[in-house]
A and B are shown apart, each in its own frame.
Chain A
């Protein structure tokens, strides 16, 4: 896609995002804040799984660490929530980096297995440290008011907060992935041995990517604790991790914009499907997971890019043949 298109679409999307809070109901705004939060988490998982090729079936765990870091800091030490978000990010960076060290030694399937076990164990661990986490009751927080006397309601403020963090983190990720570091990250996925031969420190990169990915997901978890104003162990079960996997597969593996499409999907599709049956959202997730792998392995973002490229080529062709520049 031409660069002008990408810039134009991004500006248009941002303009819509800025107008939305003044036209939608508070409940819809809350839903869109959730979309932004999911998008941050999905981008984190996509950096690890899509770009670096390390399969994680346990990113719900880092989401939980982020959410609980924030919730415990607010609940136990009354820290202002604004400070807890970066702390949650750094905590997850460290936890992710540490988990990444043994993970480096594990290839594809084994890593998937270890992270899957992590995802299954998280609710139990959360319930066990009852003193801090409030056990299965969870922790109830209060919704923050907008600062500096801004003339907006709390839902609008949270919406803007999530949007601002989303944009900042997306710019950060784009810079990371489009540069020298990003090429090294992708090279490790495509051929680890060749990358190593070219002088990429594979082990260090892999654990660092694990850390960065966990940090993104942790920030998303922290934001979710603030916007929902409640954390409970059972909302961080293995299905949370699978939801994230669904998000990056549907949105598009190894695509930055894919995170947004994936987030929209995992936020809104289950809501609609819930009307059919309690089990329907998951049946639909499963069908979409397998279906996308067969027919659209690059997800929505990849397919859109393909369609745009095809359209451009078709438009360009008559001109090209008229001037005789081809062949």
Chain B
């Protein structure tokens, strides 16, 4: 029983990270109908920047905030420079551009920082927290708290500010929004900036667990895909919840289903994606896409 609870809690912690990457994917998808394959590599690159700042001697939280700012600006620039020219192109073109961005970020990170794994510090104490007979990793709980805080912040931003409202409007109905005086192009760029920021948080929270290396996000990205698919690509809340569910499933399956263990982790995500796409393509909380013919 204790093992079960412990596995669920650490599942929730990694699930929070999947959830935030999934949220970043969903934000970009909703705003621009693009699934950003480079999301994981953007997060990885931001984490390397944070590592550089930390090595330069900045205190953790200063480096944290600075990285978020850089990631935001970087995300906005990427949208302006790379995505805007192909905004109205066929899906294949956009997928290829995103894949191009993925390999560029991956190789540039490898070029600058080498492919050797680096440890990344956690801002939380290393001593586990004890509740009854159960030990929780302080980093797990801290990561979960930071993730939830970011989500709450985003919720408040989108729900209660004029800018957030404008961004939602631009995503939902670009033509009418433009007629109301919203600068739709810039709203999309802001969406990319915010997604990059959320990704950076996820990267910094996961790096102490998986270590920093240019390929660290590949596995996380596929789980984020699974989370977004499960929750529904049209539902931000669903994506986060999907992430938490996927995190818990991953941990429980890894612990209790012997023949899967940790060796077939990615295959579990693949199976999950296929099952959801076949049984309920719009996900648990998403709207079914309706096309006018």
Residues on A facing B (Cβ under 8 Å) = 49, 53, 55, 57, 102, 105-106, 108-110, 112-114, 116-118, 120-121, 124-125, 127-128, 193, 238-239, 242, 245, 249, 253, 277-283, 285-290, 293-294, 297
Tell me which residues across on chain A come within 8 A of B35, comparing CB atoms.
109, 112-113
One of B82, B89, B221 near A290 (C-beta < 8 A): B82
> A106–B281 contact, CB under 8 A?
yes
> A287–B91 contact, CB under 8 A?
no
Tell me which residues across on chain A come within 8 A of B73, comparing CB atoms.
none
> A242–B99 contact, CB under 8 A?
yes
A-B contact pairs, 18 of them (CB 8 A): A49-B92, A105-B278, A108-B92, A112-B95, A113-B35, A116-B225, A117-B269, A121-B270, A125-B264, A128-B267, A249-B96, A282-B107, A283-B107, A285-B103, A286-B107, A293-B86, A293-B89, A293-B93
Q: Which of B148-163 contact A (CB under 8 A)?
A: none
Known contacts A55-B91, A280-B111; decide if A110 and B99 are in contact (CB<8 Å): no
Interface string of B8-35 (1 = CB under 8 A from A): 0000000000000000000000000111
Tell me which residues across on chain B come within 8 A of A105, comparing CB atoms.
277-278, 281
Known contacts A55-B92, A112-B95, A293-B97; decide if A117 and B222 are in contact (CB<8 Å): yes
Give the dominant DSSP class at B's interface.
helix
User: Does B293 count as interface, using CB distance less than 8 angstroms?
Assistant: yes
One of B86, B104, B270 near A120 (C-beta < 8 A): B270
Count of chain A to chain B residue pairs whose CB atoms are closer than 8 Å in the complex: 133
How far is B100's CA from A288's CA once the two chains are assembled, in angstroms? 8
Tell me which residues across on chain B come within 8 A of A253, comparing CB atoms.
92
> A120–B266 contact, CB under 8 A?
yes
How far is B101's CA from A290's CA once the two chains are assembled, in angstroms? 8
Top 5 A-B residue pairs of the complex, sorted by shortest distance between their CB atoms: A286-B104, A289-B100, A282-B107, A108-B91, A279-B107
Tell me which residues across on chain B come within 8 A of A116, comparing CB atoms.
37, 222, 225
Tell me which residues across on chain A come within 8 A of B265, comparing CB atoms.
124
How far is B218's CA from A57's CA once the two chains are assembled, in angstroms? 14
User: Does B106 count as interface, using CB distance less than 8 angstroms?
Assistant: yes
> A245–B270 contact, CB under 8 A?
no
Known contacts A110-B281, A242-B103; decide if A289 and B97 are in contact (CB<8 Å): yes
How far is B97's CA from A191's CA once the two chains are assembled, in angstroms? 23
Tell me which residues across on chain B come within 8 A of A112, comparing CB atoms.
35, 91, 95
How far is B293's CA from A310's CA once the two chains are assembled, in angstroms? 37
Q: How many residues of B contact A (CB 8 A)?
A: 46
One of A53, A124, A238, A245 near B264 (C-beta < 8 A): A124
Tell me which residues across on chain B come within 8 A of A193, comparing CB atoms.
293
How far is B103's CA from A239's CA once the two chains are assembled, in angstroms? 9
Q: Which of B249-293 contact A (CB under 8 A)?
A: 263-267, 269-270, 273-274, 277-278, 281, 293
How far is B226's CA from A277's CA once the two chains are assembled, in angstroms? 34
How far is B107's CA from A57's CA once the two chains are assembled, in angstroms? 19
> A128–B111 contact, CB under 8 A?
no
Tell me which residues across on chain A come within 8 A of B273, comparing CB atoms.
113-114, 117
How far is B91's CA from A57's CA once the two chains are assembled, in angstroms? 13
> B267–A110 contact, CB under 8 A?
no
User: Does B67 count as interface, using CB distance less than 8 angstroms?
Assistant: no
> A279–B111 contact, CB under 8 A?
yes
How far is B110's CA from A279's CA once the two chains are assembled, in angstroms? 6
How far is B271's CA from A102's CA once the two chains are assembled, in angstroms? 12
Tell me which residues across on chain A come within 8 A of B57, comparing CB atoms.
none
